[in-house]
Amino acid sequence: MRRTALDEKLFVAGYEVGRWDNAATEAEWDALYRLHRQGEADVPRNPTTSSAPLSREDWQRTLSEEAVFVVRDRGGPVGLTRLTLPGHHPLQTAREVESDFTATHPAHRSHGLATVLKAHALSWAAAEGYVVAGTGGTVLNLSMLRVNTRLGYVTEPMWVTWERHL
């Protein structure tokens, strides 16, 4: 992967980006799960983006089937992004990945970590032979919309979500 000026700046500041190792220790999995749950709590929601949180065990099982990338600061995870690989979701084609979830710890936001992290994941996907990357989210999450725009994602035709309070 070609390093950008932002990659270099973050590296000099002590951040390291890499692929998550599923052979991580239980303590490392616990730290990543805490980061994931923090991210879930902060994500703006609408009816189509809401889902029940997974238990720690179900979450770890899910991640072991994905390509997960992390940003570490002093060894601990402060950012993560997940790529869902084909075979686990029938709507994906064999050469398509889906960027499923990205989170940055609140103390490390506004430094470009999510952008660098997702760029790293997309570079990995391209090197592995994937040709399409999809992602989704709510218009309420302006920060992630900016990240996705910077990375070259384009919107598909809009669809409308309806909700009625009972």
Query: Which tens digits make up the pLDDT trace of 53-65?
Result: 889 999 999 999 9
Query: Which tens digits make up the pLDDT trace of 107-121?
Result: 999 999 999 999 999
- What pLDDT score was predicted for residue 23? 94
- What pLDDT score was predicted for residue 147? 94
Q: Note whether 86 and 93 are within 8 A (CB).
A: yes
The pLDDT-based confidence of 93 (bands split at 50, 70, 90) is: low
Helix axes 5-12 and 113-127, enclosed angle (nearest 10): 120
> Would you say residue 8 has pLDDT above 80?
yes
CA distances from 150 to 36, 140, 146 (A): 23, 17, 6
- Tokens standing for 141? 């999450």
- What pLDDT score was predicted for residue 164? 76
Q: Position of tokens 């390093």?
A: 3
> Would you say residue 47 has pLDDT above 80?
no
Q: Is 116 exposed, middle or buried, given 0-12, 13-18 or 19+ CB atoms closer than 10 A? A: buried
Return the number of other C-beta atoms located less than 10 Å from residue 120's C-beta: 20
- What pLDDT score was predicted for residue 14? 87
Q: Where are the beta strands (DSSP E) in 57-131?
A: 67-73, 76-84, 96-104
Return the number of other C-beta atoms located less than 10 Å from residue 47's C-beta: 10
Q: What b-and-e string marks burial along 75-106, b requiring 16 or more CB atoms within 10 Å of the CB?
A: eebbbbbbbbbeeeeeebeeebbbbbbbbbbe
- What pLDDT score was predicted for residue 140? 80
Taking the model in full, what pTM does it have?
0.86
pLDDT: which is higher, 50 or 136:
136
Highest mean pLDDT among 16-30, 52-66, 124-138: 16-30
Q: Note whether 144 and 102 are within 8 A (CB).
A: yes
What DSSP element (H or E) covers 15?
A: strand 15-19
Please, what are the domains in the chain?
Answer: 5-150 (3.40.630.30)
Query: Which tens digits make up the pLDDT trace of 131-144?
Result: 999 888 777 888 99
